[in-house]
Chain A
C-alpha cells in the first residue's frame, strides 16, 4: 500500500463542479500516466529527469556521539548542476539525514519525515527515537519500491538510548550500524574512515577524520566535490562543526613547498 500522507487530495472536477478548497472529496493519489507500458514510461522519465547522483556522504558513531559529513556536488550526467547542495538535512534539532541519489526524492521525503516526527511528538508527548524515525522513512520508501525513486540516506541522531545511526534506501533496505558511507565516492571514504576509526576519539579527532574522508573521496571521485560539511550530534543536539571548500582543503593537506631553482 502506498503511503499517501504526503499527498494532497484534489477535489474531483467531474461530480460537483467547483469545490471550495479545503474540502476533501477524492482519495489522495499520485497522478499516473495512461500508458500500457508503465515501466518503460517510468524508465524514460527517469532519463529525462536525470536525478542528481554522484555523491559522498558518511556517518559514524563514536564515544561522544555521531559524526555526519557530506560533499555538496550535484551532477546531471556529466554536467555539474550545483556545487552548493545541502546534503545534510536537518530533520529536527536532534536528528540529521543525509542525501544521496535523487535530490528531489531525498529533500521531499526528509521533509515529510520531519513532519511525521513532529506529529509523533505532539501525539505522544515525547521525542521520536532514531529507530522509530528510520522505520517511518523505510516503510514509506518500501511502499514506493520499484517506481524509480532513488534514495540512499542515513538517519543519525541522539535519543534516550544514546546515539543512533541507520542506513535507509529506496529498495526498502534498513540497516542499523556504527559506520556507513553512501554514494559514488563511498569506497574512497571507507578507505580513509575505516583505517582511522577508533571508538575512543574526541570530537575534534572525529571531525577531522570525517573531513579528511570526504576530501579524499572528492579528490578521486569526479561526481563528488564542492564543500565538505561536517556535523556533530550529541546529547545537547546537533551542531555544524566545519564547512571547507575541498579545493582549498587540498592545499591544506598537501602544502606547496617552494622548490629551489638550480
Chain B
C-alpha cells in the first residue's frame, strides 16, 4: 500500500528579516514590515516585533501565524509571572522561557525564527538568538529570517567581537554608540532590501535603553 501524502501543509513562510544589536547600555531590535506569501505581498505594514516585558523585545520572522501564537503564549505566561512574583520578567528569564516554549513543540514546531533583545539586570544590552526548536545563545548581535544570510556577514564584518568562549574572557559588547548602531541597522536593511525579495517596504526599529522604549520607522524600497 503506497504511503498517503498530505495534500496540504500546516506551514507557510511569510518572509522578512529581523536584526538585533546589543550595546553597553542599549539594545536595538529591528524588523522589516513586509508580509508575503510566495510571490505575493499580503501587506506592507505588518509588525514582527512584540514587546514581551518592560526590558525585553522579541522580533520573529517565518510563519506569522505561529509567531502570533507564540507571542500570545509568552504574553500570557508573563502576565502569570507578574501576578505570582510582583515584578516584570528579566530578559534572561524570558530568554529561557522562550527556549522551553519552543522546545515543548519539538515534534510540531513553531515555524518561527526569533531574536530576543533587551537589557539584562545590570542594564547592559543583551541579544539572544534562537532556532525554530529552542536552542539559544546569548550574543552581541544577530539576524534571522530570509535576509539573514545577507545581513549576518556584514554585521560580522562591522561588529565582530571576541567569542565569549575564549579564555581569558574578553569583553564582547559592541563599542558602538546608540546612534551608530541605529545607523548600522538602517544601512543593513537598505542593503538586504536590494537583494532579498521578501525584505522591504519599511523597517521598524525599536530602541531599549535606561530611558525606556523608543520606536521609529524608515521607508525601504517597495519593489
Residues of A participating in the B interface, judged by any CB pair closer than 8 Å: 7-8, 21, 30-33, 35-37, 40-42, 44-45, 48-49, 51-52, 72, 76, 79, 81-86, 102-108, 147-149, 226-227, 229, 240-245
Contact = CB atoms under 8 A, between A and B. Distances in A.
A243 B133 contact: no
A244 B104 contact: no
Given A36-B6, A48-B111, A226 B134 contact: no
Interface residues of B, number: 34
A243 B137 CA distance: 17
B103 A148 contact: no
Nearest to A106: B135
A45 B107 CA distance: 8
Given A31-B105, A79-B149, A149-B106, A107 B167 contact: no
Given A45-B109, A48-B132, A104-B134, A37 B164 contact: no
Interface in B87-115: 99-100, 102-109, 111
B105 to A, nearest CB: 6
Contacts of A45: 107-109
A227 B108 contact: no
B2 to A, nearest CB: 11
Contact of A84 (B100, B102, B111, B164): B164
B108 A32 contact: yes
A107 B99 contact: yes
B84 to A, nearest CB: 8
Contacts of B107: 30-33, 42, 45, 147-148
Contact of B135 (A8, A33, A103): A103
A72 B139 CA distance: 13
Contacts of B99: 104, 107-108
Contacts of A108: 99-100, 103, 106, 134
B5 interface: yes
